[in-house]
Structure 1
Amino acid sequence: MPRDEEPDTSTKRARALGLAPGVGTPGPTNTIVDVPGVRVGHVTIHDGTRLHTGVTAIVPDAVDIAGGRLPAGLFVGNGYGKLVGATQLVELGELETPIVLTGTLSAFRVADALVTYVLSKPGNEHVESLNPVVGETNDGYLSDIRSRPITETHVLEALRSATVDPVEQGCVGAGTGTAALGFKGGIGSSSRVVDLGGRSCTLGVLAQTNFSGTLTVRGVPITPQDALGATCDQQPQGNSCMLIVATDAGLDARQLARVATRAVFGMARVGSDFAQGSGDYAIAFDTGGRRGIPDQHLNPIFFAVQEAVAEAVLDSLFLATTTHGFHGHTKHAVPLDVVREKCAAAGVLTPSVE
């Protein structure tokens, strides 16, 4: 069977376990949809042990209409990846389509489907150039990646079903077949309410986790060997991580690139080794409309994005379930009782927050 258990999002998130990193205040759902004007949709594909893959669509309302644009920035922590649309995103500092995440070899079919979706919008009848943005990580350890199972129908369903409901996390969408830090990875999301001195903004992160290193929870290393013993298998170093950051702070494209840089820095807090074969990317966009925050006032946003990334990564693992995949490979869920025991022994558990 592909999965051993169903996640319980009310009890398994890092914050509910007393394991949330940092001291910042999350938004109402503690996911990226806390940022006004952002929706998320998933399509998840399981087929026995052969396929574990899917699509995750991040849909800002402002680009879901004809001619819509948002300021955006990109940071490439390590460029071993197939991020479609990257160069124009950097050159113009603009996002003009939703962002869709998937498995590596399906990225190109997803990009074509995303173009179909945007061209079909009323008012786009005469559009002749478009920059679809599609990110990916390699889910070939657990899924038959060469079969390229993602179709236009899957992509359109993810885009059209995108909602402001709290983001489903773990083994869903583009995180269905991923693995991270020695355990089963997935989709994770977190948010922070940021005080900018007189006014507040919201910052949200969505992470597709599929990278190597040593899982580190509030400074405590958790290795598969310690947590699972002889039951764990080994995955080659590398693969990737896609980080999507949204805010309504009113940042311009240059400032958003700086925020994206700090997002990748946040991976270090949870143990990324930033291996040679890892594509580590962050895309940041702003839905706020108003521009003009001085750079010297950005520190709270920089701190918030690193915290939110760390928490999103933890939730992507904590809400994932053991998955039996292609070629007999298995990735085990993080044993949360072991994590709590080790963190309690280190004196870093905080009071649980529902």
Structure 2
Amino acid sequence: MAGSGRWTKRSRCTPGTASTTPRTSPGSAIARGGDDDPGGSPNGGSAPPSGSSAPVRSHPVKPGRALPVLLAAALALGSGPAGAQGVPARARDLGIPLEGTPGRLDAITDVPGVTVGHVTIVRGAGKLAVGKGPVRTGITAVFPRGKADLAPVFAGWFSLNGNGEMTGTAWVDDYGLLAYPITITNTNSVGTVRDAVIEWGRTRLSDAFNCCLPVVTETWDGDLNDIYGFHVTKGHVFRALESAVPGPVPEGNVGGGTGMSCLGFKGGIGTASRRLSDRAGGFTVGVLVQCNFGQRRLLRIAGVPVGQEITEPRPCYEGPGLDSARAAERCPTGVTRPEKDQGSIIAVVATDAPLLPHQLRRVARRVALGIGRMGGIAGAGSGDLFIAFSTASTGTPGEHGVRPVRMLGEEWIDPVYEATVQATEEAIINAMLAAKTMRGADGYVVPALPHDRLKEVLRKYGRLAD
């Protein structure tokens, strides 16, 4: 299943018990949610705007409890002794040398029409109590043409390694169309999210032929999150859909990426884009990832073996009452068991280039090359699933239902491939740079990638100017 964890389908442990399964890609999260169910309806409501810090539901702090509550919230949001970081930075802010020309926002929303929404749910701290928390999870939604235009778009998908789930792909294979927004969540919430998306679309998709087969995909956040508590609800899904907007995309510990980690550090949501030259058509390619994969020793940034240079801090346990296994991995000693590549990555590729489904399948395959640049190997325990769509017109039916469509010539498609590889690599870096240290279930802490140390390593290898 997508992601590593104490209770993955590879583990024999039952919910609520400790596992001896090695931790590989421990998830982590950022806070935006309060209660499990924010209420709401498929017709929207009072959803906070995408990227806002407004809670799904706020709760007053009781007298005498303010300090512990605030300390727990600070650790959940990414501060504390395991390595706090300041204002989120992106790869280009740090001067990391990257190829290609980004769009104005350097985000998937540089593709005209694309909108993104997040709902982030963070609540509780301390010992895991299944059904109660701690909760570190969420949902991310991507609309190809925004909520105002739900007409199907051409799409194609690819599985690099199939230890994960992406619903609706049989429809994408046979019809080459995507008729719903793409939603990304945690492994155990796929069913809930799928049902809610169908309900949301019931009054919005008038064509029953295109009904009821949405693309919902996932990665595992069961290290930091009470994943068997099933805390994602229909109300959360409606809010994520209704909050989708154009513009800058929040990254790191947000939405579906809340409980995720990447290449031994905190991971989550990241995005980037590339604008092709006028000679290549001037098209835009945008990528959004939910990264929860890989081993630290393999991490490479700008070709530099960063994971071999930055070996500390490691994921670890904090707090009282640890059992003997967790006490042996208390901070700052950290988890010392061998890493395995049991994590996952989801990638969504958007473009305004006029591509047909068979071409979009090939574009989706190129995501794998960007992951490889970062040190990903698509391990046997990994769910690496990618989908690509084009916002170009699918044509208007004419006489006898014939649709005239445009297609980019095959001899012109290589710049789109190159842009996909470049944007995927940068989106992963952006996810890791935006993510902050997270403390979750049983006091498990996943450290953020330290920016200053990263810059030192890049300078050492001559990849960053002084």
Fold shared, TM-score > 0.5 on shorter chain: yes
Structure with more strand by fraction: 1
Q: Contact 1:239/1:279 (CA < 8 Å) preserved in 2?
A: yes
Decide which moves more: 261-270 or 12-21.
Answer: 12-21
Which residue of 132, 142, 145 corresponds with 1:58? 142
The separation in 1 between residues aligned to 2:300 and 2:184, in whole angstroms, is 25
Please give the alpha-carbon distance, in whole angstroms, between the structure 1 residues aligned to 2:271 and 2:361: 20
Could you tell me which of 206, 222, 234 is aligned with 2:306? 222
Q: Establish whether residue 321 from structure 1 lines up as the match of residue 427 from structure 2.
A: no
Query: Pick from 208, 214, 218: which aligns with 1:136?
Result: 218
How big is each residue's C-alpha offset from its partner over 1:188-234, in whole Å with a ceiling of 9 and x where there is no partner? Answer: 00000012626310000000000013221111112277342564436
Task: Give the superposed CA RMSD.
Answer: 2.0
Give the Cα–Cα distance (whole angstroms) in 1 for the partners of residues 465 and 271 of structure 2: 20
Within the alignment, does 1:43 sit opposite 2:43 as a pair? Answer: no
Q: What residue number does 2:412 align with?
A: 297
1:253 aligns with 2:366: no
Distance 1:293 1:302, change over 3 A: same
Residue type of the alignment partner of 2:420: V
Residue 90 (structure 1) aligned with residue 173 (structure 2)? yes
Seen in structure 2, the aligned counterparts of structure 1 residues 75 and 296 have a Cα distance that, compared at 3 Å, is same
CA distance in 2, matches of 1:319, 1:121: 34
Tell me which of 372, 378, 385 is aligned to 1:281. Answer: 385
Corresponding position: 1:8 with 2:92: no
Give the letter for the 2:360 counterpart: L
**Alpha-carbon separation, structure 1, partners of 2:282 and 2:183:** 28
Q: Which entry has the higher C-alpha Rg, 1 or 2?
A: 2
TM-score, normalising length: structure 2: 0.71
Shift of 1:117: 0.9
**Paired residues for 1:232-251 under 5 Å:** 232-233=334-335, 236-251=340-355
Q: Which amino acid aligns with 1:55?
A: I
Match of 1:75 among 158, 166, 169: 158
Alpha-carbon deviation of 1:263?
1.1
Q: 1:206 matched to which residue of 2?
A: 288
Aligned to 1:332: 447
Q: Distance in 2 between matches of 1:109 and 1:275?
A: 28
**Percent identity of paired positions between Structure 1 and Structure 2:** 38
Q: How many residues align?
A: 346
- Unaligned runs of 5+ residues in structure 2 are 1-71, 126-133, 315-331, 394-404
Cα distance in structure 2, aligned partners of 1:222 and 1:62: 38
- Indicate how the Cα distance of structure 1 residues 193 and 301 shifts in structure 2: closer, same or farther if over 3 A, else same: same
Alpha carbons 1:44, 1:55 under 8 Å: kept: yes
- Give the stretch that moved more between structures: 41-50 or 13-22: 13-22
CA apart distance, 1:172: 0.3
Alpha carbons 2:309, 2:457 under 8 Å: kept: no
Q: CA deviation at 1:116?
A: 0.7
Corresponding residue number in structure 2 for 1:30: 106
Taking a change above 3 Å as real, the CA distance of residues 339 and 104 of structure 1, as seen in their structure-2 partners, is same
Change (3 A) 1:252 1:228: same
Residues 7 and 288 of structure 1, relative CA distance in 2, 3 Å threshold: farther
Q: 1:28 deviation in Å?
A: 0.6
Q: Which has the higher helix share?
A: 1
User: Aligned residue for 1:114?
Assistant: 197
* Structure 2 Cα separation of the partners of residues 110 and 220 of structure 1: 39
CA contact (8 A) 1:210 1:241 kept: yes
Alpha-carbon distance in 2 for matches of 1:236, 1:148: 26
- Measure how far apart 1:65 and its partner are: 4.3
Alpha-carbon deviation of 1:239?
2.0
Deviates more, 1:295-304 or 1:223-232: 223-232
Aligned partners of 1:264 and 1:281 also within 8 Å: no
Q: Which stretch shows the higher mean deviation, 46-55 or 311-320?
A: 46-55
Q: Write the distance in 1 (CA, Å) between the matches of 2:143 and 2:350.
A: 11
User: Structure 1 unaligned runs (5+)?
Assistant: none
1:17 corresponds to which letter in structure 2? L
Structure 2 Cα separation of the partners of residues 225 and 325 of structure 1: 26
**d(CA) in 2 for partners of 1:282 and 1:128?**
21
Deviation track 1:272-316 (CA, whole Å, cap 9, x = no partner) reads 121101010110000022622111211111111000000000000
Shift of residue 328, structure 1, vs aligned partner: 2.5
Residues 248 and 286 in structure 1, CA contact (< 8 A), matched pair in contact too: yes
3-state SS, counterpart of residue 209 of structure 1: strand
Between stretches 339-348 and 194-203, larger displacement belongs to: 194-203
In structure 2, distance between residues paired with 1:150 and 1:7 = 29
**Take 1:20 and 1:14, find their aligned partners in 2: how far apart are those partners?**
8
Q: TM-score, normalised by structure 1?
A: 0.92
Q: 1:229 to 1:159 in 2, by over 3 A?
A: closer
In 2 relative to 1, CA 253–350 (structure 1 residues): closer, same or farther, beyond 3 Å?
Answer: farther
